[in-house]
Amino acid sequence: MASIHAAKRALRAQLKQRISALSDPEKLHQSQAVTQKLLSHKRYQAAQRIAVFLNMPDEIQTGDILHDIFRQGKACFIPRYQRGSNHMDMVRLNSVEEIKNLPVTSWNIRQPGEEECLEEALTTGGLDLVLVPGLGFDKEGHRLGRGKGYYDTFLERCNQQLSAKPYTIALAFQEQLCTSIPVTDSDFKIDEILFTEDLEIENN
């Protein structure tokens, strides 16, 4: 187990370097390409309840996806992390305009305050689709996150609490594709990974 954690740390450092070498125009170009592939995806088009992350600077930009979710009248849920734990809820966002008024976390991303009473996806009907961030992915659908365990823990709760588990799609720069990702039993596989350059990977 210790060797797996060490391998993950080393790979995280390597991937962060690789992503930081991307220029802003290149990040935008890849984000737009991945967004277009997602918006035309049959799973996205059929989904009515979607969880989407508010991106950090080193992640695929999700602004256009958020706008499209509301334009199509779908229900939009975003992460709310609990400090000092690996617990994360997906809470309902009522408009894109709400985002700019959300408090900024220590990670410099916006999320609803913990004290706000908001609709939580898992207690009000579940989710059809979860869009997943990460640092790295391999062709088997394995994901390397940032080490906090938020998404793995949340997807485990989906399995336990929902009769139909949501489909998961990771959005990534092509530089985040790895030959293999070191994993433990608690790491969840992603159903499908969308990259640029027609490198979509579907895991049956």
Rounded to the nearest 5°, which phi and psi values hold at 31? -60, -45
Q: Is 38 annotated as a binding residue?
A: no
Candidates 13, 22, 12, 33; CA nearest to 134 is 12
147 is in an annotated binding site: yes
Does residue 83 have a known ligand-binding role? no
Annotated binding-site residue? 150: yes
- Comparing CA positions, the residue from 155, 175, 152 lying closest to residue 166 is 155
Q: Residue 145, annotated ligand binder?
A: yes
18 belongs to an annotated ligand binding site:
no
User: Does the annotation list 39 as a binding residue?
Assistant: no
The verdict on whether residue 131 carries a ligand-binding annotation is no
Q: According to the annotation, is 81 in a ligand binding site?
A: no
143 marked as binding residue: yes
Q: Does 54 count as an annotated binding residue?
A: yes
Distance, in Å, from the CA atom of 75 to the CA atom of 86, rounded to the nearest integer, reads 25
Q: Is 97 annotated as a binding residue?
A: no
Is 146 annotated as contributing to ligand binding?
Answer: yes
- Is 8 among the annotated ligand-binding positions? yes
24-39 and 63-71 helices, crossing angle to 10°: 30
Query: Annotated binding residue at 167?
Result: no
What distance in Å separates the CA atoms of residue 44 and residue 115, rounded to the nearest whole number? Answer: 31
For the residues of 121-190, what is the DSSP string, one character each? GGGTT--SEEEE--SEE-TTS-EE--SS-HHHHHHHHHHHH-SSPPEEEEE--GGGB-S-----TTPPPP
Looking at this protein, which amino acid is placed at residue 66? L
User: Is 66 one of the annotated binding-site residues?
Assistant: no
Q: Which residues make up each annotated binding site for substrate?
A: 54, 59
Q: Which residues make up each annotated binding site?
A: 8-12, 54, 59, 143-151
Q: Which residues make up each annotated binding site for ATP?
A: 8-12, 143-151
